Amino acid sequence: MNIMSIAIALHVIAIVVWVGGMFFAHQVMRPAAVKTLEPPQRLQLWVAGFKRFFPWVWVCIATVLITGLWMFFQFPKPPLFMHIMLGLGIVMMLIFFHVFFAPYNKLKKAVVDERWKDGGAALNQIRMLVGINTVVGLITIVIATAGKYFLA
């Protein structure tokens, strides 16, 4: 077992946790919460959920970045799909940083103050950005895995 095998395994596990978590939140939990909960309970559920999911996202981002960059620099001339993966990965990380520091903060404050309308607006922004990041994540997975067959 060499370092490359450990790096790629950690890299892919971190991606599965991050992108799978976003897919579940956006496509499964959100419609279920809308169907069953009134805004005050729904917004509190999301704050409690994000409080548990976001620390994992930070761990995933650190893991993806460290292992990805380490692998990237093992290649004397990294192929195009790796450059695209790096670029899209950075876009995903910037989107997460924005979610974490802007609308998530607003959502937490609005829930503490019981301003449900403001909380709803912040949650809506998070929903949109997580939706975008899920799609970019899935596209990046296709490029990372199938890219070597269709990109030079």
Query: Least distance in Å: CB of 149 to ligand HEM?
Result: 10
Q: Are the beta carbons of 137 and 22 closer than 8 angstroms?
A: yes
Query: Least distance in Å: CB of 114 to ligand HEM?
Result: 37
Counting every residue written for the chain, the total comes to: 152
Closest listed residue to residue 25, CA positions, set 7, 2, 45: 45
Residue with Cβ nearer ligand HEM (41 or 74):
74
Residue with Cβ nearer ligand HEM (10 or 37):
10
Query: Least distance in Å: CB of 65 to ligand HEM?
Result: 6
Residue with Cβ nearer ligand HEM (110 or 134):
134
DSSP secondary structure letters along 118-147: HHHHHHHHHHHHHHHHHHHHHHHHHHHHHH
Query: Least distance in Å: CB of 135 to ligand HEM?
Result: 11
Nearest-angstrom CA–CA distance, 136 and 39: 29
Q: Are the beta carbons of 19 and 138 closer than 8 angstroms?
A: yes
Residues that bind ligand HEM (CB under 6 A): 8, 11-12, 15, 19, 64-65, 68-69, 71-72, 82, 85-86, 89-90, 92, 137, 140-141, 144-145
